Chains A and B, each alone.
Chain A
Amino acid sequence: MTVNVTPPSTANSSPTPSKRTSGRGPWFWLMLLLQLVLGAVFLYSSVTKIVDVYSFSLILKSYDLLPEALIKPLAIALPMAEFLLGAAILFRPAARWAAAGIGLISLLFTGVMISKWGTVMPYGCGCFGPTEATPVGIVDVGKDVLLVLAALVVIIASKKSAR
């Protein structure tokens, strides 16, 4: 039986240093920036909902898309998921998975916003708690699309900077 194992002493003896140790390229800084932005957006969004879960349930109800039985569980679960994802994306080892989660949630929000295009929502979009009644438009959909794109860039950047 022949086993080909590199002895530990020679594992990193390559004459040219790897990308990870040679310096931090543009992907690293882009990823860091987007991690901070997405983390801040999701943490802020979750906190505005957590401080008044009942008001958030009224926002969910105003969308008229969910059965009554799901309003309370979702009013509790969604801000918590946002908080966990917002916190997780700030940690590099978990950033890729958190970005995938953020991308999926934002994609879901985009779909919901498109389905309500032009409708006047009594509490606004409710993205950061209740606000003025406004019709759903390009700003609301655009915000979510930007979040999806940012999450995608984090996923790509994490792969590139890990090489």
Chain B
Amino acid sequence: MSKHLERRVQKQLKQAQEQKRKNRLPWIFGAVLVVIAVIVAASFLSDSFDNTKAATTNLYSKEITLPQLAEKVSAKDDFYAYYYQPSCEHCKIVSPFLIPLAEKMNKTMFPVNIEGKHDAWTQYAIQGTPTLIHFKDGKEVERIDGQRDPSVYSEFFANPK
């Protein structure tokens, strides 16, 4: 009788262990999937980081700070200030064609990062980014607000006031 009970108990324990193992399977499978997804996502984000950094560093190599901009304005230089923000989607579209265009047309243009610098927004009456302002004789001559077609910028550079 006791042998029979012992066998039954052992059978139940075995079944319980097997059930436990079976219950663990979806967790193990899920964990493996998550690890794979994390590795893929990390490599994708790393590439995205490097590409954005390379593009930003090359594009905005002539970038000036706000004090440098103020100096240029007070020195009455003839130049263009390109106000942008790294997180601005329109700037990401405009910068890759506007910055090379200014170089091609021999225009002195300096990118100015105004992300989070609300004093600069007030001082230069910026409504949004990108904004391109032509400074001459210590004051603003004309400007283009927002994202425009390359032809508009080309016209702007070609016929300065």
A residues near B, CB below 8 A? 1, 3, 5, 7-8, 50, 52-55, 57-58, 72, 75-77, 79-80, 84, 121-124, 129-133
Stretch with Cβ within 8 A of A (4 or more), from B40-48, B100-108, B152-160: B40-48
Contact A130 B6 (CB under 8 A): no
- Our count of residue pairs bridging A and B at CB distance below 8 angstroms stands at 60
The B15-61 residues at the A interface (CB cut-off 8 A) are 34, 38, 41-42, 45-46, 48-49, 52-53, 56
29 contacts between A and B (CB under 8 A): A1-B6, A3-B6, A5-B13, A52-B87, A53-B45, A53-B48, A53-B49, A54-B48, A54-B52, A54-B56, A54-B86, A55-B86, A55-B87, A57-B49, A58-B86, A72-B46, A76-B45, A122-B115, A122-B116, A124-B116, A129-B87, A130-B85, A130-B87, A130-B115, A131-B116, A132-B116, A132-B118, A133-B117, A133-B118
Interface: B141 (CB within 8 A): no
Q: Which secondary structure dominates where chain B touches chain A?
A: helix
Interface: B93 (CB within 8 A): no
Give complex CA distance A132, B115 in Å: 7
> In the complex, which of the residues B13, B46, B52, B117 contacts A76, with contact meaning CB atoms closer than 8 Å?
B46
B residues near A, CB below 8 A? 6, 9, 12-13, 34, 38, 41-42, 45-46, 48-49, 52-53, 56, 85-87, 115-118
Question: In the complex, how many angstroms separate the beta carbon of B12 from the nearest chain A beta carbon?
Answer: 6
Q: Told that A54-B86, A122-B117, A133-B118 touch, could you supply 4 new A-B pairs with CB distance under 8 A?
A: A1-B6, A52-B86, A76-B49, A130-B86
Question: In the complex, how many angstroms separate the beta carbon of B77 from the nearest chain A beta carbon?
Answer: 26
User: Within 8 Å CB of A129, what residues of B?
Assistant: 87
Question: In the complex, how many angstroms separate the beta carbon of A77 from the nearest chain B beta carbon?
Answer: 8
User: Within 8 Å CB of A1, what residues of B?
Assistant: 6
Question: In the complex, how many angstroms separate the beta carbon of A124 from the nearest chain B beta carbon?
Answer: 6
Most buried by A among B46, B49, B86: B49
User: Within 8 Å CB of B9, what residues of A?
Assistant: 3, 5
Contact A80 B38 (CB under 8 A): yes
Contact B118 A5 (CB under 8 A): no
Question: In the complex, how many angstroms separate the beta carbon of A145 from the nearest chain B beta carbon?
Answer: 24
The residue in chain B whose Cβ has the minimal distance to the Cβ of A54 is: B52
User: Within 8 Å CB of A58, what residues of B?
Assistant: 86
Question: In the complex, how many angstroms separate the beta carbon of B158 from the nearest chain A beta carbon?
Answer: 33
User: Within 8 Å CB of A54, what residues of B?
Assistant: 48-49, 52-53, 56, 86
Contact B34 A84 (CB under 8 A): yes
User: Within 8 Å CB of A133, what residues of B?
Assistant: 116-118
The residue in chain B whose Cβ has the minimal distance to the Cβ of A6 is: B12
